[in-house]
Amino acid sequence: MTTPVRVVGGGPGGMLLAYLLARAGVPVTLLEAHRDFDRRFRGDSLHPWTLELLDELGLADELLRLPHFPARYFRFHTPTGTLTPADYGALDSPFPYVALMPQARFLDFLAAKAAELPAFELRTSARVSALVEEHGVVTGVRVGDEELAASLVVGADGRFSKVRALAGLPARSLGAQTDILWFTLPRRPDDPPEADVDLYFGADHYVGLLGGPEDWQVGWSLPKGGFAAAREAGVEPIRSFLRTHVPWLADRADLLTDLRQTTLLSVDIARVDRWWRPGLLLIGDAAHVISPVGGNGILMALQDAVAAANRLVPALRAGGVHESDLIAVQADREAAIRTVQAQQVRTEQRVVKARQRDRAIAPPPALRWVFALPGVRARAARGNAYGPNPPALEPGVLAR
């Protein structure tokens, strides 16, 4: 087996799959279009399932020595009070929390570990411009003037996947109705110690808050396509919302002085009907775009990588990947993705109905009594921590 797998995209799913393949002794090249992994406002959540997997791989202890924020709770703050849907501290796990860590730091760590493996190669500033095909089978990619032969091409290049477009595998939108403006505000020692992963609801908007070692990531919701109106209004509506609904951040709301300090995330929920072509597989957001609601986009991509490794490593060791192997990867993961996306579509629909009725965008008050039950919080935490039908790494995958 001398022709490498070419993984396009150095996000969490692509990076983990490349690491697993290389650790299994499969030659693999990771092609990253940018020169590094340092992009702001990508997902930062490492769920308990992820930490348990990294522990199984012998990587968790070293990773968690890097700066991170352990989030125990997920909370809703509404005009009528605070609800706690999920308490990760109730999980029977060595990692009863979500580790909030800048994604670039996680990717740099995993890339460094992969670089220790002789079967791994990382190429940055490597933009794929075309697929190489023979008789309808993808046999490689073109990067600049160079053709790179591949035993398999894996598109892991995100929601705007170039590989997906080149392969002619369109994503079907499922109806996202929200966009989000992200920005940061500094963390201070006297900030509420219980603030972890919180949503603050008001009329027409909500704010999502992610704790970090040094700052807070703040996401301000907009109606889909609402950026032009937000640009016209400027930053004052955002600052006013923070003063009213997140009063402990009021003392630094004025640090947001211009919308150029924000990054627009156009939220989408979309799925490709077929994740593969002969010689090619899509995983992560390239195959199914996950909304940031619930913070489980990284989790789904990493689980795709494990499911793919379980199928691809034995096939590659046996001589090559067949269509049946690619079909099996999609079959292993599709039900879970459909479940997560259906939940996100329902959330989007509730937000739209609240806007149409000119009511606060918030969960029903009756949920206060439901979420007051510790067993409910524990079940919700488990659902978010592991996702539906989480895959386990097959024991033989890493055995040489």
| Structure confidence at residue 324 (pLDDT) | 98
Quick one: pLDDT band at residue 92, thresholds 50, 70, 90?
very high
Residue that is written with structure tokens 């592991």 in the block: 386
Residue of 267 and 118 predicted with greater confidence: 118
State mean pLDDT over 70-74: 89
Residue of 149 and 376 predicted with greater confidence: 149
Quick one: pLDDT band at residue 321, thresholds 50, 70, 90?
very high
pTM: 0.92
Listed by start position, the domains of the chain span: 5-174+268-386, 178-223+225-266
Residue of 399 and 309 predicted with greater confidence: 309
| Structure confidence at residue 362 (pLDDT) | 60
- CATH superfamily name and code, 5-174+268-386: FAD/NAD(P)-binding domain (3.50.50.60)
| Structure confidence at residue 148 (pLDDT) | 98
State mean pLDDT over 46-53: 97
| Structure confidence at residue 313 (pLDDT) | 97
| Structure confidence at residue 254 (pLDDT) | 96
Q: How far apart are CA 51 and CA 126, in angstroms?
A: 30
Residues 6+ apart with CB under 8 A from 149: 3, 132, 139, 140
Quick one: pLDDT band at residue 369, thresholds 50, 70, 90?
low
Q: How far apart are CA 228 and CA 207, in angstroms?
A: 19
pLDDT tens readout for residues 165-206? 999 999 999 977 888 999 999 999 899 877 778 889 887 788
| Structure confidence at residue 356 (pLDDT) | 58
| Structure confidence at residue 34 (pLDDT) | 92
Instruction: Name the residue among 128, 131, 155, 152 with its Cα closest to residue 28.
Output: 152
Quick one: pLDDT band at residue 12, thresholds 50, 70, 90?
very high
The yes-or-no verdict on residue 359 having pLDDT over 80 is no
| Structure confidence at residue 345 (pLDDT) | 85
Angle at 295 between CA 291 and CA 297, to 5 degrees: 60
pLDDT tens readout for residues 236-294? 999 999 999 999 999 999 999 999 999 998 888 999 999 999 999 999 999 999 987 66
Instruction: Name the residue among 107, 102, 119 with its Cα closest to residue 16.
Output: 107
| Structure confidence at residue 284 (pLDDT) | 97
Residue that is written with structure tokens 């080149």 in the block: 166
For residue 326, the tally of other CB atoms under 10 A from its CB is 24
The yes-or-no verdict on residue 347 having pLDDT over 80 is no
Q: How far apart are CA 282 and CA 262, in angstroms?
A: 30
User: What kind of architecture, by CATH, is found in domain 178-223+225-266?
Assistant: 2-Layer Sandwich (3.30)
- Altogether, the residues listed in the chain come to a count of 400
State mean pLDDT over 388-396: 94
Q: Among residues of the chain, what percentage have pLDDT more than 90?
A: 66
Residues 6+ apart with CB under 8 A from 199: 75, 76, 77, 206, 207, 208, 209
